[in-house]
Amino acid sequence: MPWLSPEGTLELLLWCTVGMGLLVCALALFGALFQLRRDRLHRRRIQLHQAWEPLVANLLFEEQADLSSLEHLVGWERELFRLFLMRTKESLAGDEGRRLDIFYRGLGLDGDLHQRLHARSARQRALAALEVDAFLVEERYPDVLLLLNDPVPFVAHAAARTLARTQRLRFAEPVLQWVIAQDAYQQDRLLRLMESFGSLLPAWLEAYLQDVPENPQAWRLFALMVASTRQAESEPRILALLEYPHVEVQAAALRALAALGDPLAYGHVRPFAVAEAWVLRAQAARAMGILGGPTAIPALTDMMGDPIFEVRRNAAHALHDLGRPGLAALEAIVADFHGDRYARDLAMERLEWGEERGHP
């Protein structure tokens, strides 16, 4: 075949080289045009923000402004303006915040909110849910409630955040059920979201859970919330949870008692130093140093020989935090060359850690 001849091969290579060169040039041109467009949009975004900042400031603080430039916003500029107002609202409160709410509605920016809450784009749904929160669009709360079942996680998270920030306990149950449906590590992260309901949430949660006692994940969240908010009124319920037949619930209750810091609870915590589950022994070690003071030193010293590292570590931390008596116990463990070598190493490490940081 003629194209297999040396001349044909050379011609084929030449055309391939020309084709590759044209492809590279086309890609470079496309990249340049794409970057040029991005730079143009970025400059336009800066121009708009520079124009909107004094306009909104005059509206809020001088109560007068020329709004004619805002009447013809369409497309991405209208969406950008909504985001601008949402960020501005985060820094406002009182009369200025209420004026911005009125301004937002006056421009009709909430007119298509229902459609955006049900848009095909997950990003639009999430931003619309956050917009309901920012401007307190109460008539759209039922739509946001439906988004708790959204298949896209960040959309459901935005909906839960919006409902929690209303501080209306009628939304507490659906948000709680959504949190419980998440993985355990996610539940701990979402605890702060639940706290947005306000200081009445632990009392509501306790009353609610009395009607559904077989709900260990919810009781665990309740105990962690008490630990976070340090709500002393919930201590009787936390003490009762120590008898709950679920290790994670009991561990959360021990953590809550440590946070509440009531010395009278030491007698309830002390038996968990020899619990079968190492998680309970680890949490007990943390709580015993806080609640028992120097009287916990013998038990904590014994726990320094626990086969589980986390238990030994928490016992060492607890002894160190007790001050001079606890340090003396750690020094005694270090001086005992015939004792548990793992306990001795950990005690030595903890003492060195304290010296490096100037702790007594």
Q: How far is CA 283 from CA 188, 242, 244, 295, 300, in A?
A: 16, 12, 16, 17, 12
pLDDT of residue 96: 83
Which pLDDT tens digit goes with each residue over 4-43?
577 777 777 888 888 888 889 988 888 888 888 888 888 9
Distance CA 230, CA 121 (A): 41
* DSSP conformation class of 242: T
The answer to whether the beta carbons of residues 164 and 134 sit under 8 Å apart is no
User: What's the angle, vertex CA 202, arms to CA 197 and CA 206, rounded to 5?
Assistant: 130
- Cα of first residue to Cα of last residue in the chain, in angstroms, is 91
φ/ψ of 293, rounded to 5, equals: 65, -150
pLDDT of residue 65: 63
pTM attached to this predicted model: 0.73
How many other C-beta atoms lie within 10 A of the C-beta of residue 3?
Answer: 9
Which pLDDT tens digit goes with each residue over 323-356?
888 888 888 888 877 777 777 777 888 787 766 5
The answer to whether the beta carbons of residues 227 and 256 sit under 8 Å apart is yes
Kindly state the average pLDDT of the residues 61-72. Answer: 69
Report residue 67's pLDDT band, with 50, 70 and 90 as the boundaries: low
- Looking at the predicted structure, is the pLDDT value of residue 257 above 90? yes
Q: Which residue has the higher pLDDT, 208 or 284?
A: 284
pLDDT of residue 330: 83
- Looking at the predicted structure, is the pLDDT value of residue 255 above 60? yes
- Looking at the predicted structure, is the pLDDT value of residue 2 above 60? no
- Looking at the predicted structure, is the pLDDT value of residue 230 above 90? no
* DSSP conformation class of 307: S
- Looking at the predicted structure, is the pLDDT value of residue 61 above 90? no
% of the chain beyond a pLDDT of 70: 94
Which pLDDT tens digit goes with each residue over 115-173?
999 999 999 999 999 999 999 899 999 999 999 999 999 999 999 999 999 999 999 99
Distance CA 246, CA 175 (A): 23
Which pLDDT tens digit goes with each residue over 89-109?
888 878 888 888 888 888 888
- Looking at the predicted structure, is the pLDDT value of residue 3 above 60? no
* DSSP conformation class of 164: H
Residue with tokens 């509206």: 59
pLDDT of residue 72: 72
How many other C-beta atoms lie within 10 A of the C-beta of residue 80?
Answer: 17
- Looking at the predicted structure, is the pLDDT value of residue 78 above 60? yes
Distance CA 57, CA 94 (A): 15
pLDDT of residue 117: 94
Distance CA 267, CA 32 (A): 72
Which pLDDT tens digit goes with each residue over 37-60?
888 888 988 888 888 888 888 877
pLDDT of residue 91: 83
Q: How far is CA 289 from CA 186, 236, 277, in A?
A: 29, 21, 19
- Looking at the predicted structure, is the pLDDT value of residue 360 above 60? no
pLDDT of residue 63: 66
Mean pLDDT of the chain: 86
The helix/strand/coil state of 341 is helix
Q: How far is CA 316 from CA 254, 274, 328, 345, 353, in A?
A: 18, 16, 12, 11, 11
Report residue 174's pLDDT band, with 50, 70 and 90 as the boundaries: very high
CATH numbers and ranges of domains, the chain: 78-166 (1.25.10), 184-260 (no CATH), 273-360 (1.25.10.10)
